[in-house]
Chains A and B, each alone.
Chain A
């Protein structure tokens, strides 16, 4: 134990003496949290619409008016042929074009289907489907008005009353911020510990350690503990930020969140330390760590729902620690889930962490 203490003490001295390290550890994460949380959004706040109205009747203008009065739509141009609208979309000035042919009102009045053509810029597929949803809902409102104007009793249909649990305002940040916290802790955990070991290899000081009777597990523990503490501290800073700046609800037990994070960190830091035992330069270990991290992050369910991934990808997530952590932290922070709800995932992470750390100890070579 005493030997581990001396390594931990040395690491803290070095971290706090390094002028670049402190900003890396404390300032950059706050910026990331602020920027990513505000900027990375799935919501569409402004749709630029180009209108081609060749009917030019009360009905057609009324439909256009429905769009114009929606806060999400912004009409960027009117014209009489689709070609001009296509031009707008090509140049990126419009996201959507609505085209009404002559005879729109006549068809409505005679009870025939009246056709509306909607063209979406679907380069970003999920944005395009959101746009479609907005458009469909505006048009169906318009339909309802038409129907009630013909037959005042027709309004009485089954009405859906939605209620959104756990994120009642469908606030995107409530969903994202816990995930971004996970990312911050992950990057700190995976990189700092691993880089640190490889740095000692590069400088040559690791030889001086390898020539002492230190036990392999003592060395790995000495490298794990300091950065484990720093990452947990970072999580605390992030949570305070989330609470104060974004007013993210923290429904679950705060200690449970830290318990989950501390187990999770054993896994990612174990991976970082393991990679450091198989690489010789910071460059190599950086590339390997990024490779692993990018795959883990993209598959984790942070940006895209895990439920919509193909089955093979969901199977791969069995070994993805980030997926477990994001699922758990969202459950605890937003749903207020307790220990019994996450104990299975937590148990898996604990096993995983033990395995990967043992692997790192085993792979660390004092004698080559």
Chain B
């Protein structure tokens, strides 16, 4: 394999918590510039996997590299090259929009000018320049999620990890959110996104479906539908997820 072509390489990724195996022998490769969907029911092990790839959690075993660096030994190098938007809300609610940008830009080591320029650019794209001095707590969830995504990519990472970025958001905002993801991918950022909305799966270049900590299917949406004789991703998912034992 030509490793330069891959943003993420995971071979036999295993994560155990005591006797519980959250990630059972995951193997997948994510190409540069790809939008890679990580699907699965609640508790399937998506968040565990994403946290390992971001260097927030140590895997039990496996051969894993992100942006060309080993997650066991070079986690801090990986961190300079990735962005992460967690399931939990990641902006400071008592700070304004611009203050959040300044803080996160600052700890990524961006210069004052870069921060100012990026902030204007991001707010301009979202058409919310007038909200720059608004406290986050007073903004609706949809806008907060878009801002969290903007903050996650403001330092121009090679890869951005999105953990259920559209949870609890209305369909229109979800649509707009995916437009942002496409823009990011078009600018060369690899996108690794987890979701349990099957319609969103159709937007991904390739997807993997996790059931009980294992990858049950991996391919483009069209391939998966053909293999499982299904009309929509929803049908594919239901067929696979029926086997699940770890229901919430």
Q: CB within 8 A of A208: which of B57, B84, B95?
A: B84
Contact B95 A14 (CB under 8 A): yes
Q: Is B225 an interface residue (CB 8 A)?
A: no
Q: Least Cβ distance of A188 to chain B in Å?
A: 20
Q: List B contacts of A205 (CB < 8 A).
A: 90-92
Q: In the complex, which residues of chain B have a beta carbon less than 8 angstroms from the beta carbon of A70?
A: none
**Beta-carbon contacts of A1-43 to B below 8 Å, as 1s and 0s?**
0110111011001100110000000000000000000000000
A219 to chain B, nearest CB (A): 9
With both chains docked as a complex, state the minimum distance between the C-beta of A329 and any C-beta of chain B, in angstroms.
35
Cβ-closest chain A residue relative to B88:
A204
Is A161 on the interface with B (CB-CB < 8 A)? no
State whether the Cβ of B216 lies closer than 8 Å to any Cβ in chain A. no
Given A208-B84, A211-B84, A368-B56, also A17-B107 (CB < 8 A): no
Question: Counting CB contacts under 8 A, is A65 at the interface?
Answer: no
* Contact residues in A for B99 (Cβ distance below 8 Å): 10, 13
* Segment of B75-83, B177-185, B237-245 in the binding face: B75-83
Q: Does B55 contact A (CB under 8 A)?
A: yes
Most buried by B among A10, A18, A214, A368: A10
Taking the nearest CB of chain A, how far is it from the CB of B107, in angstroms? 5
Among B91, B92, B93, B104, residue most surrounded by chain A Cβ atoms (within 10 Å): B92
A332 to nearest B CB, angstroms?
39
The listed residue (A204, A209, A211, A214) touching B55 by CB distance below 8 A is A211
Q: In the complex the two chains form, is B76's CB within 8 Å of A213's CB?
A: yes
Q: Which residues of A contact B28 (CB under 8 A)?
A: none
Contact of B58 among A2, A17, A204, A367 (CB under 8 A): A367
The 8 Å CB contact of B107, one of A203, A212, A367, A368, is A212
Q: Which residue of B lies closest to A200 (CB)?
A: B92
Of residues 348 through 368 on chain A, the ones whose CB sits less than 8 Å from some CB of chain B are 366-368
Distance in Å from the Cβ of B168 to the closest Cβ of chain A?
15
Query: Nearest Cβ distance between residue B50 and chain A, in whole angstroms?
Result: 10
Chain B residue nearest to A204 in the complex (CB): B88
The verdict on A87 contacting chain B, using a C-beta distance below 8 Å, is: no
Q: Is the CB of B88 within 8 A of A211?
A: no
B54 at the interface (CB under 8 A from A): yes
Contact partner, B102, options A6, A18, A209, A212, Cβ 8 Å: A6
Interface residues on B, range: 20 to 34
Q: Is B94 an interface position by the 8 A CB rule?
A: yes
Give Cα A161 to B108, complex, Å.
71
B106 within 8 A of A: yes
Whether, in the assembled complex, B109 has its beta carbon less than 8 Å from a beta carbon of chain A, the answer is: yes
A126 close to chain B: CB less than 8 A: no
CA distance A3 to B112 in the complex (A): 12
Residue A143 lies at the interface, judged by CB distance under 8 Å to chain B: no
Q: How far is the CB of A149 from chain B (nearest CB, A)?
A: 79
Task: Name the residue of chain A whose CB is nearest to the CB of B89.
Answer: A204
Closest partner residue, chain A, to B77 (CB atom):
A213
Residues of A within 8 A of B82 (CB): 211
Q: Does A207 contact B (CB under 8 A)?
A: yes
Choice from B79, B88, B94, B109 contacting A14 with Cβ under 8 Å: B94
Give the CA-CA distance A13 to B97 in the complex, in Å.
13
- 15 A-B pairs besides A6-B106, A366-B76 with CB distance below 8 A are A2-B109, A7-B103, A10-B95, A10-B103, A13-B99, A14-B92, A18-B94, A204-B89, A211-B82, A213-B76, A213-B108, A366-B55, A367-B56, A367-B57, A367-B75
For this complex, 26 residue pairs linking A to B, each with C-beta atoms less than 8 Å apart, are A2-B106, A2-B109, A6-B107, A9-B102, A9-B106, A10-B92, A13-B94, A14-B95, A17-B95, A207-B56, A207-B84, A208-B90, A209-B107, A210-B56, A211-B55, A211-B82, A211-B84, A212-B107, A213-B76, A213-B80, A213-B108, A213-B109, A214-B107, A366-B76, A368-B56, A368-B58
For the complex of A and B, the 5 pairs showing the least CB-CB separation, nearest first, are: A6-B106, A204-B88, A208-B90, A211-B84, A213-B79
